[in-house]
């Protein structure tokens, strides 16, 4: 699946290492993975990152930022967020243009208060003080050989000190000093610059999780041809153009509910998690089934599938090239092929017959 959410009742350090190595990340007291993100009605690929600390050396940028912040006091301890953290986080949220968690406790423990006492993660906090004033804080989950950087926030009045990056460097140094091999800073989204700062933390030892190869690859090998959403869109638009040239009606759509499995009440239902699709047939609007073509970047093949309309949407009609009428679930695979022209042949000559099978 492209999107998954788990609610483990407990989590060993070894299990956290495995989750992190497969591109998962903490959310409250749950853990999730996703390969696609939506910001401002545009879909991006989530590219998971990690830093191999074995051969990591401080860059000139890191040394410069450490020198800039040398006058501040740093304390590292077992996580125990206080009202000071909450007040600092409120100031930080008000200064940011993106949506953040409503509070530190929500960030760490989620919406369910009873899970706050569960604390399945071994978390440390890094606090930065200007004398007795808390000016920045960050949280770090510990595995056996790996750690995950969960969050960093700072006082906007101290913006010139690059405290966000400084916290990331402090996390990395803490990991090295305590014998951890990998530091996982989360993901970045090509084309969405908010997360690009992670790419400069440790360029020589930065790796990314390649969705097709299912392997960690040096980031220096990353390029635009490795962006999954771009490849999926390109494949389906090419198929659409071929069908159009043959006079076959089709409709390219972004599927707005690709991440529905992240919603607690829908979690585990196996809903469709492909962000783009191609509708190719005239179907009765009242039919409970909806055929479409999807392209799976992992097996590099087209799939003609039949989806069940699970739930009718409560939202207004989606923007052009978006579909949000129903939440969908794949019920049957009708045809699979890797050659675009062959998939077009199947749709043109046998499509309606396949739907009757």
pLDDT, averaged per 10 consecutive residues of the chain (357 residues), comes to 92 98 95 94 95 94 96 96 96 81 89 62 97 97 98 96 97 97 97 93 96 95 92 97 93 95 90 95 79 96 95 87 95 94 90 62
User: How many Å apart are CA 216 and CA 226, to the nearest integer?
Assistant: 13
Span 151-205, pLDDT tens digits = 999 999 999 999 999 999 999 999 999 999 999 999 999 999 989 999 999 999 9
pLDDT given for residue 98 in this prediction: 66
pLDDT given for residue 114 in this prediction: 46
Q: Answer yes or no: do 180 and 211 share one domain.
A: yes
Look up the pTM and report it: 0.92
pLDDT given for residue 239 in this prediction: 97
* Residue that finishes a domain, picked among 165, 200, 222: 222
pLDDT given for residue 356 in this prediction: 64
* Residue that finishes a domain, picked among 222, 244, 272: 222
Q: Answer yes or no: do 252 and 192 share one domain.
A: no
- Residue 92: give the domain boundaries: 3-222
pLDDT given for residue 203 in this prediction: 92
User: How many Å apart are CA 308 and CA 329, to the nearest integer?
Assistant: 5
Q: Answer yes or no: do 95 and 242 share one domain.
A: no
Report the interhelical angle of 60-68 vs 163-177 (nearest 10°).
110
Name the pairing type of β-strands 146-154 and 182-188: parallel
Q: Answer yes or no: do 214 and 242 share one domain.
A: no
Q: Answer yes or no: do 53 and 166 share one domain.
A: yes
* Residue that finishes a domain, picked among 222, 238, 272: 222
- The strand pairing partners of 291, in sequence order, are 306
- Total domains in the chain come to 2
Q: Answer yes or no: do 115 and 145 share one domain.
A: yes
């Amino acid at each position: 699946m492209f999107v998954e959410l788990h609610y483990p009742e407990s989590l060993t350090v070894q299990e956290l290492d495995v989750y992190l190595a497969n591109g998962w990340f903490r959310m409250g007291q749950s853990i999730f993975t996703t390969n696609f993100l939506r910001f401002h009605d545009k879909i991006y690929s989530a590219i998971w990152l990690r830093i191999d600390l074995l051969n990591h050396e401080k860059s000139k940028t890191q040394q410069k930022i450490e020198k800039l912040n040398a006058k501040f006091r740093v304390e590292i301890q077992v996580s125990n967020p206080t009202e000071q953290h909450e007040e600092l986080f409120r100031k930080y949220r008000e200064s940011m243009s993106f949506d953040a968690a409503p509070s530190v406790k929500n960030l760490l423990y989620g919406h369910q208060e009873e899970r706050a006492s569960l604390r399945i993660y071994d978390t440390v906090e890094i606090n930065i003080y200007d004398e007795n004033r808390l000016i920045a804080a960050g949280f770090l989950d510990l595995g056996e050989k790996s750690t995950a950087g969960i969050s960093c926030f700072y006082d906007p009045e101290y913006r010139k000190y690059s405290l966000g990056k400084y916290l990331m460097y402090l996390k990395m140094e803490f990991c090295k000093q305590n014998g951890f091999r990998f530091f996982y800073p989360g993901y970045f989204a090509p084309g969405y610059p908010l997360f690009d700062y992670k790419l400069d933390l440790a360029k020589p030892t930065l790796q990314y999780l390649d969705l097709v190869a299912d392997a960690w690859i040096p980031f220096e090998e990353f390029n635009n041809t490795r962006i999954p959403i771009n490849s999926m869109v390109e494949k389906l638009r090419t198929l659409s153009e071929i069908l159009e040239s043959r006079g076959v009606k089709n409709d390219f759509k972004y599927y707005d509910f690709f991440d529905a499995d992240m919603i607690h009440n829908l979690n585990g239902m196996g809903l469709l998690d492909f962000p783009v699709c191609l509708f190719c047939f005239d179907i009765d609007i009242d039919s409970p089934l909806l055929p479409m073509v999807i392209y799976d970047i992992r097996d590099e093949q087209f799939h003609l599938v039949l989806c069940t309309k699970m739930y009718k949407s409560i939202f207004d009609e989606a923007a052009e090239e978006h579909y949000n009428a129903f939440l969908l679930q794949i019920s049957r695979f009708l045809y699979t092929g890797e050659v675009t022209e062959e998939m077009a042949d199947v749709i043109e000559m046998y499509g309606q017959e396949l739907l009757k099978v």
